[in-house]
Structure 1
Amino acid sequence: MKNILVSIIMPVYNNEKYLSGAIESVLNQTHKNIELLILDDGSTDSSLSIIENYAMHNKNIRLVSRDNKGVANSIDELLKYVKGDYIARMDGDDYSFPDRIEKQLKYLKENSDVGLVGSFVEVELTDYKNKDDVKLCEDIFNFKIDDKNSSIKFLNGHRMCHGTFMCRAKIFEEVKYNINLNSSEDLDFIFNLISKNFKVGIIEKRFYLNRVDSEFVHKQKYLNEKYNEEILKSKLKFLQSYIKNREVCIVGKSKYSNTLYKILKNNNIKIGDSIIYEYTNDKFADLGKSYIFIVDKCNYEHIRDSLITQGKNDLYDFIFI
């Protein structure tokens, strides 16, 4: 296994503060047969010169530099230079623990049906300190999945930290990153993988330090409409095969129920007569074969139990989104 080449792709944009640490964490991996492909996406700080210095002294580092086009486009560009049979993601302001690549490669070798594996993360806030916000982020990224619930977990709001992604290079023959997305490119990519019958795994150990700022945390707490809309569109695209020709109903009220309603309308999906804010078993019985979107987090368990007693199934008939 030590002879297997792993290609690590690192998009960089203005990461000068943490960039050296990120690169060093790759060079110090216990699995030594690696190539590090770095794309500087039009940085305006000293990131480019930092990368140039490392590339000058390390023959396994390749630098690509260009004007700013965004993360998804950067990944798409870096994939053109990959030589390894396995590809790992890495962000320019994060840190991979020394045995990360070794352990993820071992997992993929032992689980031939898995196309992509991530890991748990340790979260560090870069511009302030708040234990509750660290826990909020770690709860989003650190979750258990299995073959039956992976898509449900991602639809419910969990996100695998994209910097922990490691996958087989061959999956890119069937699945590509959507370069037009700004907020949900990683989630959209995972949904596309699952749709193509690739399995997704998570190692329940922390192999990665994920640095996030107050802007990221704010988005998780108070989703703005633009960020919200892109994520919901990715989820809805994945759910089309379950909704089929059924009309849909939105149960509950949240800060993004109106955005969901608008997206459904714009996609010409038939919506039931009303959005149900108060729910009883009688009202659920009236929904018939409708596909149900649950947007009420506080009462989700109660709503879910009521639907299951009526013979409805999670994902196939309803989803908390």
Structure 2
Amino acid sequence: MPNPKVSVVMPCYNHEDYVEKAILSVLNQSYKNIELIVIDDGSKDGSPKLIEALANQYGFKFIVQENQGVCKTLNRAIQEFSSGEYIAVLASDDYWDSNKIEKQVACLSTLDTSEFCYTQAVEFDSESGRELRVFPKKLMVGNVLNKIFVRQHVPAGSIMFSRKLFDKLNGFDERLKEEDWDFVIRAAAETEFSAIKEPLFFYRSHALNTMKSRPRRQIFHDKAKILSKNYSLVSPHIWLFSVILHFFYDHMLSILKR
């Protein structure tokens, strides 16, 4: 298909200050065959009113629901409201470069063996706008399962994948907190990865980021669930190395932050 439709799914929860920039970064993409689906997941601030006004102005799909969490929201948006051949996910406090989707569609269209594409990302400070880092420095392509299992190197807001892959994986696992890493691991077991060495995704660092507000012990516990669940996908020595590495990394971070 020369001009495939891309469904962009954006869950929102209490991001009144950021969601408009996120939405406009999708609507201003150079690639035009895009459908945007925004789901407000029970926000308590002014997000629903703001998004509704933008939806009326620009004509994208907007759904309001009681709070269900990220995983259920993503699955519902993709399964019930989207129709694109490709799917991309963007958090409502982040945003994209205007050429992101066009470059990813071009990349996937030339690779018969890949149904998953990601890009580099820029992490920036929300208050000052200062660039904190560009990541990952080294991009993994092809068969990346072992590397992905040992360490998550894929910025979640940069990924684009085929609907065929999403259906094959039965979507995001609603039992887990680290749903993006689990999804990426399972995707890597099914398809080769492609990547664009260019920061096309902008990750906002602020106090309300989920990863920043959760205790390190809880993060490791959630990671351990994913490693245990996906044990059969890799060799025993890769699994053991990953467990040790994650425990050491999270334990050292907790010590440094005391």
Same fold by TM-score, threshold 0.5 exceeded?
Answer: yes
Name the structure 2 match of 1:233. Answer: 225
1:6 is displaced (CA, Å) by 1.2
Aligned identity (percent) is 25
1:199 is displaced (CA, Å) by 1.7
1:200 is displaced (CA, Å) by 2.0
Name the structure 1 match of 2:138. Answer: 143
1:120 is displaced (CA, Å) by 0.3
SS, match of residue 256 in structure 1: helix
Take 1:234 and 1:27, find their aligned partners in 2: how far apart are those partners?
34
Q: Is the 8 A contact 1:2 1:31 kept in 2?
A: no
Q: Is the 8 A contact 2:150 2:245 kept in 1?
A: no
Q: Does 1:256 align with 2:251?
A: no
Take 2:204 and 2:244, find their aligned partners in 1: how far apart are those partners?
32
SS, match of residue 67 in structure 2: coil
1:158 is displaced (CA, Å) by 3.0
Name the structure 2 match of 1:212. Answer: 205
Take 2:161 and 2:110, find their aligned partners in 1: how far apart are those partners?
13
1:254 is displaced (CA, Å) by 7.5
Take 2:11 and 2:211, find their aligned partners in 1: how far apart are those partners?
23
1:130 is displaced (CA, Å) by 8.1
Name the structure 2 match of 1:126. Answer: 126
Change (3 A) 1:40 1:252: closer
Take 1:251 and 1:170, find their aligned partners in 2: how far apart are those partners?
29
Q: Is the 8 A contact 1:159 1:187 kept in 2?
A: no
1:162 is displaced (CA, Å) by 1.2
SS, match of residue 146 in structure 1: coil
Name the structure 1 match of 2:255. Answer: none
1:92 is displaced (CA, Å) by 0.7
Change (3 A) 1:223 1:2: same
1:243 is displaced (CA, Å) by 4.7
Take 1:252 and 1:73, find their aligned partners in 2: how far apart are those partners?
27
SS, match of residue 178 in structure 1: coil
Q: Does 1:181 align with 2:176?
A: yes
SS, match of residue 227 in structure 1: helix
Q: Is there any run of 5+ residues in structure 2 with no aligned partner, and where?
A: 253-258
1:82 is displaced (CA, Å) by 0.8
Q: Is the 8 A contact 1:41 1:66 kept in 2?
A: yes
Structure with higher Rg: it is 1
Name the structure 2 match of 1:265. Answer: none
Take 1:254 and 1:159, find their aligned partners in 2: how far apart are those partners?
14
SS, match of residue 16 in structure 1: coil
Q: Is the 8 A contact 1:119 1:202 kept in 2?
A: yes
Matches within 5 A, 1:56-75: 56-59=56-59, 61-75=60-74
Q: Is the 8 A contact 2:149 2:185 kept in 1?
A: no
Take 1:212 and 1:47, find their aligned partners in 2: how far apart are those partners?
19
Higher relative contact order (CA 8 A, sep 6+): 2
Take 2:211 and 2:89, find their aligned partners in 1: how far apart are those partners?
24
SS, match of residue 231 in structure 1: helix
Q: Does 1:98 align with 2:98?
A: yes
1:72 is displaced (CA, Å) by 1.0
Take 2:167 and 2:76, find their aligned partners in 1: how far apart are those partners?
15
Q: Is the 8 A contact 1:2 1:33 kept in 2?
A: no
Name the structure 1 match of 2:40. Answer: 40
1:146 is displaced (CA, Å) by 2.6
1:232 is displaced (CA, Å) by 2.5
1:12 is displaced (CA, Å) by 0.6
- What letter is aligned with 2:73? S
- What letter is aligned with 1:18? Y
